[in-house]
Amino acid sequence: MLRRPFFWVIALVVAVFAAAPAIGNNVELRESLVLATVYITLATNLNVVLGYAGYVNFGSIVFFGLGGYLCVYLMGAPAWPLPVALFAAGAAVSLLALVFGLGILRLRGAYFALATIGVNEGVEAFVENFTPFGGSSGLYLPVTMFKPLGGPMAALWIVYFLLVAIMGASLYLSYAVKRSKFGLGLLAIGQNEDAAQVLGVPTRRYKALAYSLTAFLPALAGGLYFFKSAFIQPSDAFDLTFSTEAIVIIMLGGQGTVTGPALGAYLYEELRGWLLTSDTFSNFQLVIAGSLLLIIVLFLPGGLMGWLYGRWPRLRSLLE
Amino acid sequence: MSLFGIIASIIDGVLVGSVYGLAAMGLTLIWGVMDVVNLTHGSMIVAGMFALYLLTSVLGITPYATLLPVLVGGFLVGLALYWIAVHRMIGRAPLMSLLSTFSVNLVLIGLGTAVWGTVLFNVPVSFPGVTWQRYTFPGTHLLAAALTAVIAACLYVFLYRTRLGKAIRAVAGNRQAAELMGIPTTRVLALAFALGVALAGVSGMLIATLFPFTLLSGDAYQLKSFVVIVLGGLGNPTGALLGGIALGLLEGLVTPFIPVSWTLVIEFALFVTVLIAFPRGVFALRRS
Amino acid sequence: MTAILEVQEVGKSFGGVRAVDRLSFVIEEREILGLIGPNGAGKSTLFNLINGVFRPDAGRVRFCGADITGASPHRVARLGLARTHQIVQPLEAMTVLENCAVGACFGRENLPRARAQEAAREAAVFVGLEDRLDTPAAQLTIAGKKRLELARALAAQPLLLLLDEVLAGLNPTEVERMIGVIRRLRERGITILIIEHLMQAIMSLSDRIVVLNYGKRLAEGTPASVANDPQVIEAYLGDPALARELAGKTRA
């Protein structure tokens, strides 16, 4: 494993993310990188289902949002400590994804995609009406929550490093899956599900497993993200824009490639930062994300990495 | 609530549901003919709503006179959409047409919110209602259902009695065979897509005569269309109309008892359950 | 001789049409059993019933003594029953080697990823795809895709192989090569059930032949006896002169 070049790529990315803001205690840089870690985590996990197994999930944000809700809820009234609440939230979301997955993954192609839109809308509508989660006004955490982590200042750094670690774990997971037998099965499903099954791939189990596995890390990221802001409400937790952006990022970087989502997330984040500071474009974020996606789908369906691998096939064997 | 009240609520639900059915007919027509899920459906419904608003408030046209311009405009927009986002996706992985129509939807909704924001719009339409016992059925609801029936009948005649309609059905049945029979499939696909979009636009216009709306209303109505077409069986316009009526009936049945905010949760649960339990639709007619 | 596959009274209807009608037959270990019959006789449906793509309405299928009636295709594959498709089903974006690795990983041996690579290479070389190992399956010719179907099935180290018209659409040279590959498979001890329309090929390859017509067994026996069976001639071969010619070409 240590001899694989990609392992060192991941290590380098994680090191840069961790060190860059820590040097000189640059809080502003850290806050801008928080969003990048979340983007990479969401896109990388979604890529396992979308890019490998070929199932478009329009509602991947559900995992992130539910993880956030469960974590904030458990830290609130039951007053569980952060690590316990976080892990419980992650495990619960994974389990829920497994149960959901066994159901809706019986659907193929477009039917599944429609169901995922429904899942997102349905879960958001449910949470808005669910009083323990504060309904549409959401849940707050008291500032004292940061005390066990050494006060708000230290806590924000710890949360950031954890988010970086989750991002690294996501990248490694997507890499390990791709090289594994499990990943081979998922890729086969993505190409031709019937043929895969005839070749012996246990398609239903693998799909549900992939769905559940890729729910865990986004749920942790959601828990940390909303712990950090000490506040969660349905419109933030289940913001479809996030799901959409994750798809744009994957397609931009290259669906089904390991490095693509990370590269796509970086480029998208740069583009977005540039657009947000521009007066003309700040209102047109969705328009630009949509146009970008349309251009990629029409003219560059393999994304940037797909294009690079097409030109230099050796690069693929080096990085994948 | 009295029994009469519940029955009145159900009848009203069916009236409104038929309009959902009309929207779903547009979606299911496209799906059936070219295996493309048109994710611009929601924004096309919204476009119909805003067309009604602009034509009545700016140009001062009577609400129901906008039906024809909306139909024609929707058709032209549909043709444009087909050539921009759909044509190149025919025959490629279903993922690609999902993403291309999804991205166009983003662009349209993004442009719309930049111009109009997400505030609530309301087009005042008055039409005499019908009173039964202590309950009055709004005239707008009755008229919307009647217009839906007329449009659905026209669509039926078009699909089953005209050459062009038969060509559409032939392409839906087997594109390759249709091509071998000399049917210009590309033009037929474009036509079917445009027709589907026009139906979405008209249904949006009719819905806007019933309820207030925002630029983001499309998502909820799109979800309703999905529920309707899984009830009715994919690619089956007649089933879609029945599915719409069934959904309206359900909404009418539950609204007296359950807060409105739960409707979406119930519809979603129904959607997934039906998808899993009856993948070919509840009202799907036996077809080979 | 022991039976490797027993098909007992299996039936399947589609919308009132009996595609396979209470059909029974047995395949002995290490034999090549040919399955012939006019188009629509139910041959491919029978394959789908055996490997679990369809669930039979009636009857039982036993493989190596185990009841596999209605078992899902991936379980059947795991037990050592592999098949090819009449219409090739390559995993298009994956290379020849990766295609075969899927077969090896999820086949009878249930190999880990690294060892599957070797088995995949060996299977690809066996069918003659050695210089196409890293080519995406989509770029193969039709003959290449047919061979890939066979290689993938082979990589699973099956006990029984179902071949569905692997010779269709090939030119005479390619047919010769494919027949050679099938002969060598038998030498490796793999039992084969083969559907084929090329009469000469199936007559020379098979030990025994089962003839299907309207989902029912019309005849069964050695290629020579089947080719001389008046019922078969009437239903399928049509021309007695042709049948005599074919009978002359069988190994019997």
Q: Which residue has the tokens 């040097």?
A: A23
* Residue B17 CA neighbour count, 13 Å, CB half: 26
Calpha distance A139→A127 (Å, rounded): 11
Chain A residue numbers with beta carbons less than 8 Å from the beta carbon of B114 are 283-284, 287
Section A131-151 average pLDDT: 82
- In this prediction, residue A98 has a pLDDT band, given cuts at 50, 70 and 90, of very high
β-strands C208-213, C32-36 pairing: parallel
Which amino acid belongs to residue A172? Answer: Y
Choosing among C68, C74, C84, which should be mutated to test the A contact, i.e. which has the most A CBs within 10 A? Answer: C74
Calpha distance B173→B287 (Å, rounded): 11
Residue-wise pLDDT for C80-136, tens only, equals: 999 999 889 999 889 999 999 999 999 998 899 889 999 999 999 999 999 999 999
Q: Do B272 and A122 touch (CB under 8 A)?
A: yes
Neighbour count for residue B90 (Cβ, 10 Å): 16
CATH number, domain with residue C200? 3.40.50.300
Q: Which two tokens stand for residue C121?
A: 């290479």
Q: Which two tokens stand for residue B97?
A: 């047409």
Chain C residue numbers with beta carbons less than 8 Å from the beta carbon of A199 are 74, 77, 82, 102-103, 106-107, 152, 156
Whether residue C31 is contained in a domain is answered as yes
Looking at A262-276, C140-154, C207-221, which range is the least confident one? A262-276
Q: What H or E segment, with its residue span, contains residue C163?
A: strand C160-164
Q: What percent of chain C has pLDDT over 70?
A: 93
Q: Is C90 on the interface with A (CB under 8 A)?
A: yes
| Reported pTM | 0.86
**B224: nearest Cα among B189, B190, B258, B248:** B248
Helical packing angle, B237-254 and B3-34, nearest 10° = 150
Q: Are A234 and A127 in contact (CB under 8 A)?
A: yes
Choosing among A175, A177, A198, which should be mutated to test the C contact, i.e. which has the most C CBs within 10 A? Answer: A198
Structure ipTM: 0.88
Flag whether pLDDT at A145 surpasses 80.
no
Flag whether pLDDT at B250 surpasses 80.
yes
Could you say which of A122, A289, A292 has the minimum Cβ distance to residue B265?
A: A122
Enumerate domains of chain B plus CATH numbers.
3-277 (1.10.3470)
Calpha distance B36→A85 (Å, rounded): 43
Label residue A174 left, alpha or beta by phi (over 0 means left) and psi (-120 to 50 means alpha).
alpha
Q: Are B263 and A131 in contact (CB under 8 A)?
A: no
Calpha distance C206→C199 (Å, rounded): 11
Calpha distance C216→C19 (Å, rounded): 9
Calpha distance B76→B193 (Å, rounded): 10
Q: Is A316 on the interface with C (CB under 8 A)?
A: no
| CA distances (Å), origin B7, targets A305, B15, B253, B256, C195 | 60, 12, 8, 10, 62
User: Rounded to a whole number, what is the distance in Å from the CA of A107 to chain B's nearest CA?
Assistant: 7
- In chain A, the DSSP E strands lie at 139-140, 231-232
- In this prediction, residue C239 has a pLDDT band, given cuts at 50, 70 and 90, of low
Q: What H or E segment, with its residue span, contains residue C83?
A: strand C81-83
Q: Which domain, by its residues, includes C226?
A: 1-71+193-252
Q: Are A226 and A68 in contact (CB under 8 A)?
A: yes
Q: Do C72 and A197 touch (CB under 8 A)?
A: yes
Whether residue C55 is contained in a domain is answered as yes
Whether residue C203 is contained in a domain is answered as yes
- In this prediction, residue C159 has a pLDDT band, given cuts at 50, 70 and 90, of very high
Q: Do C91 and A192 touch (CB under 8 A)?
A: yes
Q: Report the residue count for chain B.
A: 288
Report the neighbours of C using a cutoff of 3 or more CB pairs below 8 angstroms.
A
Residue-wise pLDDT for C11-68, tens only, equals: 999 888 888 989 999 999 999 999 988 877 888 899 999 999 999 999 999 999 899 9
Residue-wise pLDDT for B66-79, tens only, equals: 999 999 999 999 99
Report the residue of chain B nearest A136, measured CA to CA. B261
Flag whether pLDDT at C248 surpasses 70.
no
Query: How far is Cα of residue A71 from the mean position of the Cα atoms in its chain?
Result: 17
Mean pLDDT rounded to a whole number for chain C: 88
Given this model, what pLDDT does residue C1 score?
61
Domains in chain C, number: 1
The CATH code that applies to domain A5-319 is 1.10.3470
**A215: nearest Cα among A75, A17, A13, A70:** A70
Section C211-221 average pLDDT: 88
Report the neighbours of A using a cutoff of 3 or more CB pairs below 8 angstroms.
B, C
